[in-house]
Amino acid sequence: MSNTLLSYQEILKKIDQLAEANILISALELSIFSILEKRYMSAKQISNVAKTQLDGTEILLDALSSMGVLKKKDNKYKNTSITYKYFCESSLGYKKGTVMLKQENRKEYEQLANIIKNGRDLKSFDGEDDSKFRHLFTYAMHERSEIYVDKVAEIITKKPVGNLVDLGCGSGSYSVAILKRDKNVGAVLMDRSVAIRVANKIHKN
């Protein structure tokens, strides 16, 4: 935990960052990046596809372009190479799990004050596991782990690993990275069936 105390202006800056976060989440919820794909489109064209109000859509698009998230030329808008690669559904690099998780996190934070005041409704967690959520959540965990797995595997395999049991393995990314580094490792991966199916699909090659 940082011991640095924030100033008044720094606190306000943190609050103001919420505006840009909401702009980005709204763009994801309205599938703006998926609608654009690799082409320039006018606000009216995007509004027609998204089934949104033109004036509000244009304000959102201008905000995205001013943030450097979209390109704007001759009153038309286009994805950047980054927004197309990671946030457009037709891209092979589309981070579908991460997109879902960011949207879910926003819903959670919208309820934060109410939960702190009144507590969490635990009954909402009753019933069967949501397979659609689990499917995307497993992808999200894989996408988040990509920048860490090699380093973690490098550290763990400095000594002989032997056999490992990965309970709640999710996408299995860490175990797979260890197996790739140490061919003598034996591993058993365990999780919900949906997560295992996603893990098999991710690591089938």
Predicted confidence (pLDDT) at residue 69 exceeds the cutoff of 60: yes
Question: In this predicted model, which residue has the larger pLDDT, 153 or 205?
Answer: 153
| Residue limits of CATH 3.40.50.150 in the chain | 143-202
pLDDT (mean) for 7-34 = 95
76: nearest Cα among 91, 52, 53, 57: 57
The answer to whether 41 and 77 are in contact (CB under 8 A) is: yes
Give pTM, 2 decimals.
0.83
CB 60 within 8 A of CB 54: no
Mean pLDDT of the chain: 94
Give the tokens for residue 26.
């709204």
- Give CA separation, 100 vs 32, 93, 106, 135, 195, in Å: 15, 15, 10, 10, 16
Q: Is the pLDDT of residue 98 over 90?
A: yes
Q: Could you tell me the fold of the domain covering 8-87? A: Arc Repressor Mutant, subunit A (1.10.10)
pLDDT (tens digit per residue) in 29-53? 999 999 999 999 999 999 999 999 9
Domain with CATH 1.10.10.10 in the chain: 8-87
